Amino acid sequence: MIQSIGKYFYTRIAEFEPWGQTLALCRTALAIATLVTLLFNGTGDVFRPILGSPNIPSCVGISQISIYCLLNGHLDVARWISIGILVVTISGYYPRITCVLHWWVTFSFISCATIVDGGDQIASVLTLLLIPLCLLDPRVNHWNANDRDMSPGKRLFAYFTFQVIRLQIAFIYFQACVSKFSVTEWVDGTAVYYWFLNPMFGVSSHIKPFLTFLLSKPLIVAAMTWGALAMEFIIFLCIMLRFSHPVKKYVFIAGVLFHGMIMVIHGLVSFFFSMSAALIIYLLPLRPDLSFFQKRRPVNSVAIVADRTP
């Protein structure tokens, strides 16, 4: 029994190859999430004094290492340096260097910015957890296929790092689902009604007439409310499936559409890209290219035998 388990993990680790375009797509989505916020918002919008925090950025504790504290008094310069780092990250060059700089940018933002959301926090956590994988990345550009063989020790370290990332993402969705059961409106199926019609975070004016009609139907409201809970719990359950399980690609599509709907309704663009990045590394197979949804062609055993015939 123990020998079989050991052989199973040995085989899995020996075949583990995270340094492909799946990782590249995840890192790119995370970089776009922060880039969108910094590119379309000035420093006066992002770093605005609020009640209880008159000094922005607040450089206390570990936040002192943030780029906005190091360049305090030159926030616009720090913003454009951050944008440059994110653009280089998206380009894919030198992932072993940009992974640390990428985390520095996301950490600096959540440490010093006045207005942040859950997507910004997730981007900071994921960029930190991805650093070990990227430090082992032998490629010059993360969009290239890995053509180097890695030692068993590096594969083992990368394998368990990847498992930690998967557990973190699974916990995010589990907590997002279970924590809602303490709110009466989520339990009775009316939460979506109140969120969609919230004057600050609700739907935009151009789609409000259509959604107002839907929200007048109790069954539709309940289905949307409980459907969101079901979606989050289903994504959490995918932690129990093997890496390349075919069901995961359908959950991935549903998850991206789910967060896309949140983006359209609530305008959370950076949140959409952060959660899409999480779904990419969590649900999509780790392949050297982006052919996630192509069926693998069956192996022609006759041709193989013919090739080996002297």
Q: What is the pLDDT of residues 15-42, one digit of tens each?
A: 677 888 899 999 999 999 999 999 998 8
Q: Using one digit for the tens of pLDDT, what is the confidence trace for 139-161?
A: 899 998 876 777 878 888 888 99
Q: Using one digit for the tens of pLDDT, what is the confidence trace for 242-278?
A: 877 889 999 999 999 999 999 988 888 999 999 999 9
Whole-structure pTM value: 0.87
pLDDT on residue 9 = 60
- Average pLDDT of the chain is 86
Mean pLDDT value of segment 128-140: 93
pLDDT on residue 11 = 64
pLDDT on residue 223 = 95
Q: How far is CA 17 from CA 13, 122, 138, 150, in A?
A: 8, 24, 12, 9
The yes-or-no verdict on residue 138 having pLDDT over 50 is: yes
**Distance in angstroms (rounded) separating the CA atoms of residues 82 and 215:** 41
Mean pLDDT value of segment 221-231: 95
Residue 268 CA to its chain's centroid (Å): 14
Q: How far is CA 6 from CA 12, 62, 254, 268, in A?
A: 10, 41, 35, 45
CA count, 13 A, side-chain hemisphere, 288? 8
